[in-house]
Structures are given as structure tokens and as C-alpha cells.
Amino acid sequence: MNYTIDLLHLSQLSPHEHHDAAHAHKLAREIGTKGVWITPILVAADTFVILDGHHRFAAARALGLDRIPCVLVEYDDPQLQVASWRVARRITKGCVRRAAREGQLMPEKTSRHKLSIKYPPTYVPLYDLMHCSVRHPAITPQIKEHKPCSTN
């Protein structure tokens, strides 16, 4: 299976669970201090539902970013496993799809999505994620713009 890392606009992404605001704020400070986005979030390719990275998504919003690097994966990919962080709670891919589709977000840290392959860090300067008109040479060829930015 081929995996791509695309720059997706935050407005395209749909969470399926809540996040801890304090943790997201702490993460935003850490990412802001580094000045680069390193770890892409995991997203379903067909629906743009966030599978892993709700806190990073919230941190990106807090930082005022327009877009973030995302690993796109087919949700039925056998390399992608879903489980629950919570004891005695069974989570299925169907539960996640339903929560995102209906906008009934699950409690934070309910689902745990794990891709059995490692994907590379991105090292995209935050400035490039804030401003659509600027492309930085540090954006590697494996990363592509999924939706062009408007210049208006």
C-alpha cells in the first residue's frame, strides 16, 4: 500500500473525538517553540476524518495554521488497526465513521488508531503552514498540496 503525505487545510479535516484542551495548549507551545511541524496526523483518505492527531489538530488551530501535513490512509487498509484506550470499551472502524459522520464526537482518547508502518517526519516550517502564498524549499517532494490556496 502506498501512503502519501499531503498538506490539508484544517477546514477539510473532521475530528471524531474530543481532545484535552490543556494538553493541546501545551503541545501548541512545544510546536511553536520548535518552529516546524514534525509529526503528520493520520487521516482517512476518503473522508478526511482525523484518525490519530486530534491534539495536534487542536494545537494547529491554536497556532493559527491554515493547513497541516497529513498521512492519508485508506480506512479499510489491513495495516491500520483500531482499538480503545479505555478498558472494557470496544471500538470498531464503524463506530469511528459514525461518530464523524453524525458529529457526535467520542470522549477524548477513546480510539487508538495504529498504522503498522512508520511514516517519515515532515519538518515543515510553521510559517509555510500559515501562509498559502509561500512555498519553502524544506517541503519535501513527498508532500503535495491537496487543495490549492486561493490568493484572494
Query: Other CB atoms closer than 10 Å to residue 90's CB: what's the count?
Result: 8
Cell numbers that stand for 149 in this block: 490556496
Identify whether 102 is a catalytic site residue: no
Query: Other CB atoms closer than 10 Å to residue 50's CB: what's the count?
Result: 24
For strands 124-125 and 111-115, give the pairing. unpaired
Cell numbers that stand for 65 in this block: 495554521
Cell numbers that stand for 72 in this block: 492519508
Residue 68 Ramachandran class (φ > 0 left, ψ -120 to 50 alpha, else beta): beta
Query: Which residue numbers are catalytic?
Result: 17
